[in-house]
Amino acid sequence: MKNGLAVVSKILLGVFVIFIGFVGYTGYSYFTDKDFNFYGLMPRVVEEAVDTEVADESAVDEEVEDESAGTANAEDASRQADLNNIIVTVETYASDNGEYPRGTGCVDEMEELKMYFKDGELPSDDAGEQVFESEDGEVSISCPGGYLYQDFGDGEYLVWAKADDDASGNSEYFFTDKAEAVKGESGVYIFHGSIGDLAWSEAEKDGNPLTNLFSGSESDARDAGKKADVNNLIMAIETYNNDYMGYPQKTACVDAMDELDEYLITGDRIFEDGGKVTFETEDGSVSITCEGGHLYQSFGNGYVFWTTMESEKNGNMQYFVTNQGDVVKGDVGKYYIYPSVFADPVEMLPFEGGDVAPVETTGVSRGVSRTAN
């Protein structure tokens, strides 16, 4: 009996194995109506895993693109903020000096603006050097700090940056003619500033092209540095006045004014790279030479700091004057003076540091030096 049961069990087991094999071969599932089988299960799982991996990679790519776009937008927003800060500084400079910075050049080279920023550090693009190019390729300006100041004269100017995302820009090309200043909805460059109405008619273009005053010369850069030095001297003398309730009552070369040492940002008196400078009246009766290139001129009730300009377009006085009433600033000049003083005809106080000789004037006679030590 036992042997008969064993035979029957083997026969049933064989039938079951054959049935399972038949199901696997035909692809038909006895257990479900879904299209899978025991033998095809593993390949199908692998295939689905590959599909999922491809989908994941696509999602990662989209995330990288989104992150890249977000970074570009953030950097462009930072550039626009920098341009706004530069504009505020330019306007402050104009308020302090009665004129806007002259000449077109890189912002990082504008010495006259450094005093308005902490530690004298001007804003710069984190991406570093940028090149500003006109559409025809005739003008290409490279700025190490990434920002460009463009002067059109008469208080009209632009400050430029280069955008990472065209959606942040408002100009496709850098332009050298104000008549071309048309903002778009997108562009390679970002520009902000004050240049009046951007919608110029064809007649205005033909009659007044208003090309910019690009210079970029080394002499203009040195002149800008001298003006910045004068601004530093003004700050020092005003702080001295607050501490001692009065200004130094004398006329002297700045390099000889020990009392200013502790008030200067550099911690020392300012000397020009060009060396000594001679300040002369129009008639040649007075000539004062300063080793450091700057002269402090006191009138008792007012004062002026003097320096000389390499380019006359950067100066505002043609000749050195010894009477306060003769201090009349022009648009150009051999010298640059700051600040303005009272118009009353008062002679400058005696000069310290050299031989003194009298000067005949219609006002009070005071002594001034013909030479300086």
Residues 185 and 225 in one domain: no
Using alpha carbons, select from 192, 201, 142, 147 the residue that is nearest to residue 171.
192
Give dist(CA 226, CA 97) in Å, integer. Answer: 13
Q: What angle (nearest 5°) sits at the alpha carbon of residue 162, between those of residues 160 and 165?
A: 135
pLDDT at 102 over 50: yes
Q: What tokens appear for 227 in the block?
A: 């003006």
In the predicted structure, residue 295 carries a pLDDT above the cut 90: yes
Residue 58 lies in a domain: yes
Structural domain containing residue 125 = 35-86+98-216
Question: How does residue 175 score in pLDDT terms, banded at 50, 70 and 90?
Answer: confident
> Does residue 42 register a pLDDT over 60?
no
Does residue 211 sit in the same domain as residue 339? no
Looking at residue 263, the DSSP 8-state letter turns out to be: G
Q: Which of 181, 216, 251 is the last residue of a domain?
A: 216
According to the model, what pLDDT value does residue 69 have? 55
Going by DSSP bridges, is the β-strand pair 295-298/156-162 parallel, antiparallel, or unpaired? unpaired
Specify the number of domains making up the chain.
Answer: 2
Half-sphere exposure of 16 (CA within 13 A, CB side): 6
Query: Do 199 and 304 reside in the same domain of the chain?
Result: no
191 belongs to a structural domain? yes
- 7 in a structural domain: no
Calpha distance 254→268 (Å, rounded)? 11
- In a shared domain, residues 331 and 303: yes
Share of the chain above pLDDT 70, in %: 65
Cα-flanking dihedrals φ and ψ of residue 191, to 5°?
A: -135, 140
- Is the pLDDT at 46 greater than 50? The verdict is no
Residue 338 or 182, more confident: 338
Angle at which helices 218-244 and 41-97 pack, to 10 degrees? 70
Q: Give the separation between CA 22 and CA 13, rounded to whole angstroms.
A: 14
- Answering whether pTM is above 0.85, one says no
187 belongs to a structural domain: yes
Same-domain check for residues 62 and 165: yes
Residues 365 and 291 both lie in one domain: yes
Contact present, 96 and 228 (Cβ < 8 Å): no
Least confident of 156-165, 193-202, 273-282: 193-202
Q: Are 264 and 179 found together in one domain?
A: no
| Contact indicator for 100, 94 with CB cutoff of 8 Å | yes
Query: Which residues have CB under 8 Å from 302's CB, separation 6+?
Result: 324, 341, 342, 346
309 to each of 106, 284, 288, how far by Cα in Å? 20, 19, 16
